[in-house]
Structure 1
Amino acid sequence: MMNFILICLICGLYGVLAKDKDQKGRFSVPILDVKARQLVLEADQTLLLSCRGRWELSWAFPAGLTRDEVQVEDSRCGRTSQQYCSRVTVRRSQSQHTGLFRCRYRHRTQKQAAIYVYVADSQQPFVEPPDMSPGVLYMKEKEPLVIPCRVTHPNITTTLVKFPSPGLSPDQRNIIWSSKKGFTVRTPTFYYIGLFYCQTVAEGVKHKSRIYFVHRPVSNITDVYLNSSGPVQALKGERLVLNCTATAELNTRVNITWDYPGKINNAGFTSKRLLRHQTHMLFYNILTIPKLQRSDRGLYTCRVTSGNQSKQQKVTVTVYDRSFIRLKPRNGSVMVVQAGQKSYRITPKLRAFPAPEVIWLKDGMVAAEQCSRYHMDGNSLIIRDVAEEDAGKYTVLVRIQEHGLYQNLTLTLVVNVSPQIGEKAVSLQDPGSVPRGSRQALHCTSHGVPPPHIEWLWHPCPSKGLPAAPRP
């Protein structure tokens, strides 16, 4: 008897578990009371949809249906009230209500059941009514282009029109028509940039959809540069203006941002400009700091981004408390050079701010006015084809007149000249025989810097055919 009771209990438990498992499998996704995948209503009809599931339910409606136009009733249902039911009512359905109705679990939204509802209206065949402003569609590289002129009945046929060209019919290869999506262009080219609309004929009347502007965004930054090619130096209290310019292909849109020491304190402000040229776009972003402080010194970075592309330029800003001149010799105050050298550069150590005026003097007169071989290169004086007459005193005058700062430095240039003998030989002619004991004068003229030392050597006459050794 006990065994019989135990067997009955096991069988009963198995039956409950099997039923529960069947219920779980049955309601793994919610179930709609309409088995079809699409439903066609006439305008002003009432739409009723019911959904049943194992957990709490929620709905997602077409964009054209507002919450005020729909009524949702939730309840517990099933034999033991273990299930959840939800009922949707839309009274006086309109063409803009056409779209996908989705019933899903509130906490598992990927589990859903859906039905596409058409609300047919011969007076308004397109779901989205014509509008004064065109809709903007972005054509992306290697992605299909969808022109969403959906219709209110599955049997409506339409034509795609590019203004002002004639219409394009779907070929089901590259141009595909769907009443639920509109026109899909699988591999759009540059031809599909511009204004498009769809049109159809209902009861002998031609209808047009909303106009769509197809735009192809481009993310190709050609170059980024600043108005300063090198480090920027400025005085405390001065105004700093940095201009970041980006060049890009037509149809490109860029975002320009700045990173700089005073950004956290809003020390500066930016202004933007956009110029369109025939072959490219120019984007300007100007950073201005009205009054520089010592805390504004540091690295300034302009970042330009467009899509996945990014470029940047950097510049270092130095802020000085006051103007200054620091001038001293580079390698002592006396310089030595060899005559005949192709060029010689006189460069002192000079640091100054703001940029000073520099004048070079030679022996008290402006160097560049004395000789065409003298010319300035930056703060240096260059002497071409160095000659003996280039020796002398060179003075560099440095001044920042607007700040009343003046300083000068005098350097001495010594030009070494290789010794040369004026006469090609001590005697051009053989003096011949001279009386023994007579007095003879021989002349040797030489020149050089420093002055050369002259030494005489005597070559006695050879005897017995042997060369004579020179004697001092």
Structure 2
Amino acid sequence: MLYFVMFALCGWRSALAKDQTSKGRLSAPVLNVTSRELVMEANQTLQLHCRGQSELSWAFPVGVAKDQRSVRVVDSRCEGRGHLHCSSLTLSGAQPRHTGSFRCRYRHQHSKQTSLYVYVTGSQQPFVEVQTEVPGVVFMKEGEALVFPCRVTAPHIPVALIKFPGQRLVPDQKSIIWSSKKGFIIPSPSYRFSGLFSCETRLNGILHSAQYLTHRPVNKILDVYLNSTRPVRSLRGERLALTCTVTAEWNSRVSITWSYPGQVNDSASISRRIVKGTSSIMFLSVLSITELSRADRGVYVCRVRSGPVLRETNTSVTVYDRPFIRLKHRHGPVVNALAGQKSYRLSPKLRAFPPPEVIWLKDGMVAAERCSRYHVDGHALVIRDVAEEDAGLYTILVGIQEHGLYRNLTLSLVVNVKPQIGEKAVSVRDPGTYPRGSRQALLCTSQGFPPPQIHWLWHPCPQRGPPAAALA
């Protein structure tokens, strides 16, 4: 104990000399111990003093943080140095579990700190963390080092890494690194390091071991989808069930959460199920609302997280108070098509819920039965290869039978036919010659719809010049 006190005083004087050379400007706090490591026996008292140019705070090892009753911290102004802040830490009855790094840092700038690693040796406890019968789990993460955290309570305790069922792995400080402050470190772990491992050492002839099971978490999400890809429409009082299905690789750990309009009132119940396949695993989360209300309208989002990977999908839900049909003309009661068109679409404006039944009539008869060129697409009637005989009255019948709702609308289709001249089809190139002064009749026969108008135009022939001989 006397040695420790003298060591602390010498360190304090050395630090004080450094403080004087820096003229009181301390970029980082200064401890009264200048070494980076300290070894002490169990049940002894640890006293550390720290000073700096602003308010100070301490960070403790995990074992100390869980046992605050044995720690006492006193903050004050340094005597004779009014511009400096001092803080003293006292750890009473130190135990092996208190082994670790003690850090003094500025309260408002944690990056400025000074640390001391303290080993608290125990005659029957070589490992800092007391192991239970259940092995600890260490994770093999892609791109990160694998660490077996079998820290020891003294810097020179020999520890071996054993892979079950008895394979001894020798540290070469490259592929396998031993550190008394961290444990065994594997910078680039391969599948060789999958399985059950133990850190082993002998203390006073007794074998001590700490067991660890490696686990390689998989974070690859293959697919996320909802059972309804389109917006959902429903009536008030009906039941809603949305299923979010997640497909992921084996060994994946998936978290599925929902956000929805009635979340504050907990209006939905959520159930989960897992289906295991040969090459993947499927996670299902079902959100159910027994009776929908207007407050349940809005966007429903399924969020999926697997480690750092986040995926989401959503759909919108519309809730109607009652069933309805709204039907009206799109371009007026009379519409026009042109004979020869490849197709023409009769499509009035229709909004209805639940989805209604639709029947089209042509001049009082079911259109699809009257002509094979007519077919219904959604609520529209499509006419292929439009012909003159397609003109007429078309009526759309819309009904929701279970609610007793029916509507109808009639449109008049006018089929325009391009005008044609009958004589043009049989005319000859040379009209022939006629005697001067004779009377001739020219006939023009035309057809089309609407009836075409006929206009006559006269284009006189160019006059011929005198014969070449007469000019000579």
With normalisation by structure 1, the TM-score equals 0.68
User: Is 1:117 paired with 2:96?
Assistant: no
Contact 2:150 2:182 in 1 (8 A): yes
User: Is 1:261 paired with 2:285?
Assistant: no
User: Is 1:172 paired with 2:168?
Assistant: no
Contact 2:31 2:48 in 1 (8 A): no
RMSD: 5.2
1:148, CA displacement in angstroms? 1.9
User: Is 1:100 paired with 2:99?
Assistant: yes
Equivalent position amino acid for 1:345 in 2: R
| Structure 1 pair 87–327 and aligned structure 2 pair: CA distance change class (3 A) | closer
Equivalent position amino acid for 1:48 in 2: Q
1:368, CA displacement in angstroms? 2.1
CA distance in 2, matches of 1:341, 1:57: 85
For 1:111-190, what aligned pairs fall within 5 Å after superposition? 114-121=117-124, 131-150=132-151, 157-163=158-164, 166-190=167-191
Match of 1:317, SS? strand
Equivalent position amino acid for 2:179 in 1: S
Contact 2:36 2:115 in 1 (8 A): no
Contact 1:195 1:214 in 2 (8 A): no
Contact 1:104 1:111 in 2 (8 A): yes
- CA displacement, residues 420-450 of structure 1 (integer Å, 9 cap, x when unaligned): 56675489xx9xxxxxxxxxx9999865434
Partner of 1:296: 296
Partner of 1:417: 417
1:31, CA displacement in angstroms? 5.9
With normalisation by structure 2, the TM-score equals 0.68
| Structure 1 pair 279–74 and aligned structure 2 pair: CA distance change class (3 A) | closer
1:294, CA displacement in angstroms? 1.8
CA distance in 2, matches of 1:83, 1:221: 50
Contact 1:98 1:118 in 2 (8 A): no
Contact 2:63 2:99 in 1 (8 A): no
1:89, CA displacement in angstroms? 3.8
Partner of 1:437: none
For 1:24-423, what aligned pairs fall within 5 Å after superposition? 29=31, 37-39=38-40, 47-51=43-47, 53=49, 63=63, 88-89=92-93, 97=96, 100=99, 114-121=117-124, 131-150=132-151, 157-163=158-164, 166-199=167-200, 208-216=209-217, 218=219, 220-420=220-420
Tell which structure's C-alpha radius of gyration is larger. 1
CA distance in 2, matches of 1:417, 1:73: 102
CA distance in 2, matches of 1:270, 1:256: 10
| Structure 1 pair 117–346 and aligned structure 2 pair: CA distance change class (3 A) | same
1:352, CA displacement in angstroms? 0.4
Partner of 1:9: none
1:341, CA displacement in angstroms? 0.6
CA distance in 2, matches of 1:151, 1:409: 88
Match of 2:44, SS? strand
Contact 1:128 1:210 in 2 (8 A): no
Match of 1:171, SS? coil
1:273, CA displacement in angstroms? 3.3
- CA displacement, residues 120-142 of structure 1 (integer Å, 9 cap, x when unaligned): 44xx8656566443322223344
- CA displacement, residues 210-258 of structure 1 (integer Å, 9 cap, x when unaligned): 232333353x555543333232222111222233334445544444333
1:409, CA displacement in angstroms? 1.5
For 1:3-42, what aligned pairs fall within 5 Å after superposition? 29=31, 37-39=38-40
Partner of 2:469: none
1:309, CA displacement in angstroms? 4.4
Which stretches in structure 2 are left out of the alignment for 5+ residues? 1-12, 21-28, 80-85, 432-440, 459-463, 465-472
| Structure 1 pair 210–410 and aligned structure 2 pair: CA distance change class (3 A) | same
1:284, CA displacement in angstroms? 3.2
CA distance in 2, matches of 1:190, 1:141: 11
- CA displacement, residues 355-399 of structure 1 (integer Å, 9 cap, x when unaligned): 111122223332223332222221111111112222222221111
Match of 1:273, SS? strand
Equivalent position amino acid for 2:120 in 1: V
